[in-house]
């Protein structure tokens, strides 16, 4: 799909961040949009930014954790636009907590959005993409789907799962060609609200000092603007790449993922212990 002009693109999590940036970039390229989010205000702002460019823009409040809601939205998109060519399963949330301290409720909340939301979006839209004769499934994983990080067990689990799920889908689409392909996206530190909106457990303060300090430290790694990320994602779609590393830090994470597991894990553990000792000299 080297020309996005006139195509119909559905985007989850379109109310902010990468989802909003994708919507704006696609509308500039002449693609029609079906946008969804749980944030009504943010979604309306994205719609306003994309209208007036000669493309059709529709929107719907959708919780991607709700399978029935996603399936109904996919059918609605086809009813409103006549077809759909791209689904960007982008919606996501974050939880920072150790394995011991994270609640089952927070773990399930994250998995229902970050993993099951991707599954719901893929399965709901895939038949419509095939019916259109040309389509692309774009599933957003993370650099944390390449390398595991302490305090990110739930996020790691979801993003590794998205990677495996989408890789399998890509192979299946190649076994029986139908005009549809799939790409896994691995963003690095993108300047979005996901970290600021994260659920942060007190256990993370052992390293960062406090919840507020943890967010300040995390924000330092958010170096790639979402607009640049959107352009890189669309380039990956146009070139039909299997995976796309978004941002220079994503390239570093990919390189680290190829090291022996014991090596990079010991380095991460050592760095975390060093930070803890700097904040609490008497800590082990």
Question: For residues 35 and 90, is the Cβ–Cβ distance under 8 A?
Answer: no
Of 55, 57, 31, nearest to 45 (Cα)?
57
Burial letters for 119-134: b for 16+ Cβ neighbours within 10 Å, e otherwise? bbbbebbbebbeebee
Helix (H, G, I), strand (E, B) or coil at 174: helix
Which long-range CB contacts under 8 A does 270-278 form with residues at least 24 apart? Answer: 272/150, 272/207, 275/207, 275/208, 276/206, 276/207
Collect all residues with Cβ–Cβ distance below 8 Å to 88 and sequence separation of at least 6.
9, 10, 11, 12, 19, 22, 138, 140, 233
Of 31, 25, 41, nearest to 9 (Cα)?
31
Alpha carbon distance 216, 205 (integer Å): 12
Residue with tokens 């495996």: 164
Strand-pair category, 57-61 with 32-37: parallel
Strand-pair category, 95-96 with 86-89: unpaired
Of 233, 202, 250, 66, nearest to 136 (Cα)?
233
Q: Which residues are catalytic?
A: 155
């Amino acid at each position: 799909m080297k020309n996005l002009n006139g195509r119909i693109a559905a985007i989850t999590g379109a109310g902010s961040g990468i989802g909003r940036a994708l919507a704006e970039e696609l509308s500039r390229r002449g693609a029609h949009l079906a946008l969804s989010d749980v944030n009504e205000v943010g979604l309306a702002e994205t719609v306003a930014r994309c209208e007036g460019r000669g493309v059709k823009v529709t929107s719907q409040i959708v919780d991607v954790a709700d399978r029935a809601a996603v399936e109904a939205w996919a059918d609605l998109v086809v009813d409103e636009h006549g077809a759909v060519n791209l689904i960007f399963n982008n919606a996501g949330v974050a939880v920072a907590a150790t394995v011991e301290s994270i609640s089952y409720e927070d773990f399930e909340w994250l998995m229902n959005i970050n993993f099951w939301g991707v599954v719901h979006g893929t399965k709901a839209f895939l038949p419509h993409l095939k019916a259109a004769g040309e389509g692309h499934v774009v599933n957003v994983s993370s650099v944390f789907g390449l390398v595991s990080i302490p305090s990110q067990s739930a996020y790691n689990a979801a993003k590794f799962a998205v990677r495996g799920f989408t890789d399998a889908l890509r192979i299946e689409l190649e076994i029986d060609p139908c005009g549809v392909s799939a790409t896994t996206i691995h963003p690095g530190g993108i300047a979005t609200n996901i970290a600021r909106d994260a659920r942060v457990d007190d256990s993370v303060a052992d390293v960062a000092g406090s919840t507020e300090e943890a967010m300040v430290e995390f924000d330092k790694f958010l170096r790639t603007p979402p607009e640049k990320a959107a352009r890189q994602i669309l380039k990956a779609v146009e070139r039909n790449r299997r995976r796309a590393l978004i941002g220079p830090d994503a390239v570093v994470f990919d390189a680290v993922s190829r090291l022996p597991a014991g090596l990079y894990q010991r380095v991460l553990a050592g760095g975390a212990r060093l930070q803890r000792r700097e904040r609490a000299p008497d800590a082990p």
